[in-house]
Structures are given as structure tokens and as C-alpha cells.
Amino acid sequence: MSILEHFKTITTIPHCSKDADKLLNYISDFAKKHNYTVEIDNSKNILIKKGNPKLSLQAHYDMVCIGKAPEIETYEEDGWLKAKESSLGADNGVAIAMMMSLMEENYELEFLITSDEEVGLIGANALEFKLSSSMMLNLDSEDEAEVYIGCAGGEDIIASKPYAKIKDNRDAYEIKVSGLAGGHSGVDIDKDIPNAIKILSLYLKDKKFGLVSISGGERINSIPTQVTAIIKTDEVLEENDFVKIKRVENSEPILYGADEFISLLAGFKNGVHELNAILNVPDRSINLALVSIENGFCKVEVSARAMSDRSLNIVSSEATSFFKSYGYDVFKEEKYPSWTPDKNSFTNIVNDAMIEVFGESKMVAIHAGLECGVIAQKYPNIKFASIGPTIEYPHSTRERLKIDSVDKTMEVLKKVIKLIQ
């Protein structure tokens, strides 16, 4: 079976983050069928092995489900594999497909496949396996002809504040922004992709209104494509290219003073905060990801990223201070370390193999979280690198996989294996 056929099979097996047991069982059964040993730990990480390998291949088996996912209908168009009205899950399902192809060919390798990467690198943080390999090649990068040798660290920040409910008899309106492009909150944060929450808050910030409800964003690690608010106002409201307005019947109370929540969202410094000229990527950034009202509490969730632990502390502290200036309580979670760029004998081997196949290559860092940073802290004697076929617009309904990049990346992988084993 080809890698692409393996991947298409994977898309038929539900594997959203926190709900990927069916794919876990499928991978485990497949490996055992091909006479590999399989270990599964308490965090549902999988370690698959045959022989005495020097190289470990690493990926995660959960995906960010956007749109109709986990119901995924794939189609090919102009050399790309896409999904109809959903995320595709090539991040990181195509890596699993590549691993399965290698198992079919009986390679003596170690395969480390982690759980719930997309919701805070949960599996990687809980790893306790005894690994045999001295080198690990992560397969979660998304650009052919590039070898990743460093990545951003990150942290999620949640702020909330309660507001009293009061009656308001003004006319009620639904204010909606929807259908935006979306994208990955790390690799796409510097691409000027519109943020639905930012658009709505800027539209409302100078108006006089009462806030009844607001809900927007899809995932903490994706650029929000939609947001809807119910407000009450006497003002005349006008639509624009992004904002749609509908008069509604609503007898719910407003949250007294919660118009300041809109001011907070409008004033929040979203996007790239500083560029890293040496690595040619954003040095630190933050994504305004999710907003909601729950039991009278206005809540906002943001995702901070940075290329060093020092820079992460800066951007996280700035956001915390901003939220606290509005009287909001702040909670932080899912912090993970950056992977400091490191050129070594292993990265050179991978880079040379990449040049042989693609005719060119460069060693780069990525402004997103790879599990290498977390795993390197647990296994300091292992050398790391990361590669992958070209995937565009992950974490969105525009996600697509460059088809000819898959087999070429596998060719690189086999050259690396031959040089090491």
C-alpha cells in the first residue's frame, strides 16, 4: 500500500485530540501484525520497535479537528490532497502513514508516537519509555527541503472576570463574523490572516451597547475564523465586508459593565510582537484564540509562543499584566519549552540527504511547538532533527498536503536510515 493510501485510511478513523483511541488501536494492531513489539503507556503514547535500532522516528497521532472533522472527505486537486469543509489531519497523520509504510518493509527502527500533541504536548510531557536510539527524527515539520533544528516554546493564558446581570430593554442584535481563512497560530501568525475576534471587537469598541453573550474561535492553537455576539443597543448598526448584523428577539439580561471586555479584546496586542532576524522567524507572538461567557464570567484564551524561554516569559508577562489591568484573573497552563537550534553530526546527515533528493536544503527553526523540545529535556543524550512533506494551512479547513512531496520526503528518510543503521 502506498503512503498516500495509508494516509487516506487514517483519515477515515476518528482521531481528534482527546478522542483518538480508535487510531491508537489501529496503529498498535498494524505494528503487531508486522511483528513489531508495542508498548502503550498510561498517557496513551505508543513505542513500537524491532531489532536494535539507532534511530527513532517520532510523530503524534491526534489532529486538530476543524469544520466537519472527524468526518473527513479527501479529494485531489492540482497536485494537492485536500478535505471538503474540514481540516485534513495531514498534521501529523501523514507521518503515521510513512511509519506504517516502513513497517511493511520490515525496517529495524524505533517509532515513538505520542498522544494529544495538539492540546499541550500532553503525551510528550508524560513520556517514561526506555528508548534505545541515540538519534531521533521528528516527522512533524511541514516544508520539504528544510531541516528543522529548533522550535518555539509556548504557553496558554486564560483570563476571566465576573459581571452582574441586569435587565436591558433595548433592541437586541446578533453581530457575526464568520467564514474567515483561519490558520495555525504559530506558522501562520505572520501572514496577516484576519482574526475574527479582533475584527468584531474593533467594530464594537466605540459603540454604546450592553453585552448579552459572545462566543468565538475554534481551538487555542488556531487563528479564529468566526465569532458571534448578542448585544443590546439604541445605535444604528451598519454591516461591512466582515461584520454581519441581524435583529433578534432576546429577553436575556446584559452583563453590566461587560462592554469593557470588548475594549480589552480590541486593545489586546495580537500577532507578532518581535521578529528574530537571525532565525528569520517571529521571535515572539500571541494569538487571540477563544472568547466566551460562562456563568456570568467573560473569558478569553490566548496562545503565546517564543523562540527562547526568556522571550516566552516576556510575552506571557505582557499579556498577564494587560489582562490584570482590567481586573481579570489570569491562569496559565500547557507550558512547553523551546528547542534551542543545534547543528550537529545528525542534523548534517539529514541535511545532506535532503540535498541529494531535492537539490537544495537549509537548516531552519520553526515558530511553532515541536515535541523535540520536551523530549530533549527527558532524553538529553539523544540528537534531534525534524523534517516533513509540505503541508499548508494546518489547523484550518484550507489544510492541504503536497502529494509529490510525500514520496520525496520518504526518499530522504530512507537515505538517513541507510546512513545511520
How confident is the model over 385-411, as pLDDT tens digits? 999 999 999 999 999 999 999 999 999
Cell of 57: 522516528
Burial of 277 (0-12, 13-18, 19+ CB in 10 A): exposed
Task: Show the domain range for 198.
Answer: 155-336
| Whether residues 58 and 140 fall in one domain | yes
| Whether residues 177 and 70 fall in one domain | no
Confidence at residue 120, expressed as pLDDT on a 0 to 100 scale: 85
| Whether residues 29 and 140 fall in one domain | yes
CA 329-333-336 angle, to 5 degrees, is 145
DSSP codes of every residue in 302-317: EEEEESSHHHHHHHHH
| Whether residues 197 and 108 fall in one domain | no
In the predicted model, is pLDDT for residue 421 greater than 90? no
Average pLDDT over residues 201-220: 97
CATH of the domain at 124: 3.40.630.10
Indicate the residue among 273, 308, 336 that finishes a domain: 336
Nearest by Cα to 119 from 314, 282, 313, 336:
336
d(CA 137, CA 222) in angstroms, rounded, equals 25
Confidence at residue 201, expressed as pLDDT on a 0 to 100 scale: 98
d(CA 32, CA 71) in angstroms, rounded, equals 27
Question: What's the mean per-residue pLDDT of the chain?
Answer: 97
d(CA 77, CA 96) in angstroms, rounded, equals 23
pLDDT tens string 54-95: 999 999 999 999 999 999 999 999 999 999 999 999 999 999
Overall number of domains in the chain: 2
Average pLDDT over residues 179-183: 94
Confidence at residue 236, expressed as pLDDT on a 0 to 100 scale: 95
Confidence at residue 278, expressed as pLDDT on a 0 to 100 scale: 87
| Whether residues 98 and 146 fall in one domain | yes
| CA atoms in the 13 A half-sphere facing the CB of 339 | 27
Phi then psi for residue 378, to 5 deg, are -85, -30
| Whether residues 301 and 241 fall in one domain | yes
| Whether residues 165 and 301 fall in one domain | yes
Indicate the residue among 317, 336, 355 that finishes a domain: 336
- Residue in this structure with the C-alpha cell 503514547, named with its chain if needed: 45
